[in-house]
Chains A and B, each alone.
Chain A
Amino acid sequence: MTTGAKPSSGDFVHRVRTVSGSAYGTRARSRAAATGGMGFRHRFRRDWPLLLMVLPVVVLLGVFHYFPTLGNVIAFQDYSPYAGIRGSDFIGFANFNRMFSEPAFWKAVANTLSITAAQLAFFFPIPIALALLLNSVLSSKVRNLVQGVVYLPHFFSWVLVVSLFQQMIGGAGLLAQTLRDNGHQAVDLMTKPDTFILLVTAQAVWKDAGWGMIVFLAALSTINPALYEAAAADGANRWRRLWHITLPGLRPVIVLLLILRLGDALTVGFEQFILQRSAVGGGAAEVLDTYVYFQGLLVGDFGYGAAAGLFKGVVGLVLVLVANRFAHMVGEQGVYSRS
């Protein structure tokens, strides 16, 4: 737990911290001690109900996660749905060679990376600013109300978010309607390839900026108020307190989330782009995931689509691992550390 939380801010957080930290609770120790000299058969007789409980999840993950992962071998095949995996010929890296010489593929990579960059620049700071602003509001009633409102869009589907944007700033939307009424040229911001990156970033901000704030609010609640008091006694005004106490208090979370976002650079979301690809055109709206979908499923080129998907998966995995290693290096706990 990097954010931590002061024990009083919710016993859930406190409890979890205790157990997910380095020292297990007493139960762990007693169980481990009891395990000491036990043989397999004895342990099985004691723990079979627990294994039974885990079984459904393991089966589902096996069938719908691990098994399809193995299915990626078709990236190395001239896959034919009729012949199946066993009947199709292996063609080595031919799918990949073709992919790397395909301008459309590199266009999709470039689009994906530009959108990640735009989100880092225009999306990432907003939840932090929002959390700082809300945290400085004294009335808890106002705070709760605003939180309730800004969290909400996170629970809307992308179809809904795109629909709402369309109604507001699309060609038949409220903005265009108002402009027409006042004798101006109507605009349709939903179909412009040039500003598509800004559009999807705006949608992401509308949907998830409020939700992203939660982590920062939690981190803010862990900062010891005595620090502020001491600083104030030393004559630090509000801006100096923000600079020397609040921001350093948020630093671990900010660094961690930043690293995580970089680890996910090839993943910019899926539904958002597939929904708007036809309106904006593939030139601007094609990202890696939509490329896989179109080449693989719609064109029916399964082996090639799987190759593009595998490329994304492997590069993504490496990025996440590097990012996590980096998070450990700068002294944060990282994401996938075992609890």
Chain B
Amino acid sequence: MTTTRAVWEEEPTAVGRIGKPLVLALIALVVAFPLYVVVVTSLSTTEAVTRAGGLVVVPRELTVSAYVQLLSGGVVTRALLISVVITLVGTAFSLGITVLAAYGLSRPGSLFHRPLLFVVLLTFLFGPGIIPSYLVVNALGLIDNYASLILPAAVSAFNLIVMRSFFMGIPNELIDSARIDGAGEFAILRRIVLPLSKAVVAVVGLFYAVGYWNAFFNALLYINDNTKWPLQMVLRTYIVQQQPLPTGAGGVATGVGLGLSPAPGLAIKMAIVVIAIVPVLLVYPFIQRHFQKGVIIGAVKG
């Protein structure tokens, strides 16, 4: 659908007609170009990388050997699995308790509704601080436990408020008629409210999922055992800090014993970067159209 210009609006000037598309293309390019280079390099052979003297811009001689090497067991495969499981379990858990609490707080006039809402909103104002948080997680015995990557960050007050606002907008008549038919609160939530709230559930789910997938700081604080590292920690160690990876079973850095032509180091590195991006790219198109609707409230409030 293309909107036409209003009658009273001037014809675009030559500068506007050429400049605008140019600027927009430039902006899109600035975002897309690094991703492009990383993907192309990750798919290049040793010769291509050597000839380019580093990152490859013009793709020639493509191969997936870097990915085969990374995904055939070893540090990256393990970290990837850990990240995937943490993301799935964490998102399901967070989304579940957020939906429940958002509905529980969405009925004004219910018992303790105000003080409980206050308890949630107050968390916006201050954070507990790194050191006391660490001490609590430590005291609970969660150091080096995957639960430390989920539980401390499980509730986002921001997501909860966004979802509650949405629930409060559902017409009361629907809920009342369900109650007259004898439905309890859980049934109303499951059968009336949730089916009407797919957009906000999708957006909040994406926020949680991206949060878990990208989480790095909790792992840095709470996971000392490097065989339990999620993918972001591997990225930091191997790519940002340029340190060798801790070689668990089937060390990645060499590729020895895999019976493959070893992929060049840089292609391997860029393949790790790509692996960290891909899940985001996969879910993004499905949820993107809900942003405008779902986020505005939160963007202003948060």
Contacts and interface: CB of A to CB of B under 8 A. Distances in A.
Real complex partners, A and B? yes
Interface of A: 1-3, 5, 9-10, 12-16, 18-20, 24-28, 30-32, 34-35, 40, 43-44, 46-54, 56-58, 60-61, 63-72, 74, 130, 133-134, 136-142, 145-146, 148-153, 155-160, 162-168, 172-174, 177, 180-181, 206, 210, 214-215, 217-218, 225, 228-229, 232-233, 237-238, 253, 256, 270-271, 274-276, 278, 289, 292-293, 296-297, 302, 305-306, 309-310, 312-313, 316-317, 320-321, 335-336, 338-339
Given A19-B169, A278-B241, 8 more contacts: A16-B168, A30-B176, A44-B111, A47-B111, A53-B101, A133-B24, A140-B1, A292-B129
A61 B240 contact: no
9 contacts: A27-B175, A30-B172, A57-B100, A140-B2, A149-B32, A159-B236, A181-B53, A306-B129, A309-B130
Given A274-B217, A292-B129, A302-B135, A167 B55 contact: yes
A63 B129 contact: no
Interface stretch (B66-74, B102-110, B247-255): B102-110
The 8 closest A-B pairs by CB, nearest first: A15-B169, A27-B172, A71-B132, A157-B214, A53-B104, A68-B128, A309-B129, A232-B8
Interface residues of chain A: helix, strand, loop or mixed (majority): helix
Given A142-B24, A177-B55, A43 B131 contact: no
Contact of A149 (B21, B31, B103): B31
A214 B296 contact: yes
A26 B172 contact: yes
B160 A57 contact: yes
B297 A16 contact: yes
Given A16-B168, A297-B134, A305-B131, A336 B240 contact: no
B216 A158 contact: yes
B130 A293 contact: yes
Interface residues of chain B: helix, strand, loop or mixed (majority): helix
Nearest to A162: B240
Interface in B192-223: 199-200, 210, 213-217, 220-221
Contacts of B184: 49
B8 A65 contact: no
B185 A49 contact: yes
Contact of B185 (A53, A232, A270): A53
Given A65-B128, A71-B136, A149-B32, A12 B166 contact: yes
Interface in B4-24: 4-6, 8-10, 20-21, 23-24
Nearest to B283: A155
B296 A218 contact: yes
Contacts, number: 345
A31 B215 CA distance: 41
B300 interface: yes
Contacts of A15: 166, 168-170
A274 B297 CA distance: 31
B160 to A, nearest CB: 7
Contacts of B116: 54, 58
B151 A31 contact: no
A60 B97 contact: yes
B220 A16 contact: no
Contacts of B293: 10, 12-13
A216 B294 CA distance: 15
Contacts of B302: 335
B23 A133 contact: yes
A74 B239 contact: no
> Which of A47, A151, A228, A320 has its CB near the most chain B CB atoms (within 10 A)?
A47
Nearest to A212: B299
A29 B170 CA distance: 15
B125 interface: yes
B273 A229 contact: no
A261 to B, nearest CB: 13
Contact of A68 (B57, B135, B215): B135
B38 A167 contact: yes
B294 to A, nearest CB: 7
Nearest to A215: B299
A180 B27 contact: no
A10 B199 CA distance: 11
B280 A296 contact: no
A24 B172 CA distance: 11
Given A64-B136, A172-B54, A149 B28 contact: yes
A50 B103 CA distance: 8
A35 B293 CA distance: 33
Interface string B113-126: 10011011101111
Contacts of B112: 47, 51
B98 interface: yes
B121 A28 contact: no
Contacts of B105: 50, 54
A28 B6 contact: no
A54 B104 contact: yes
A52 B103 CA distance: 11
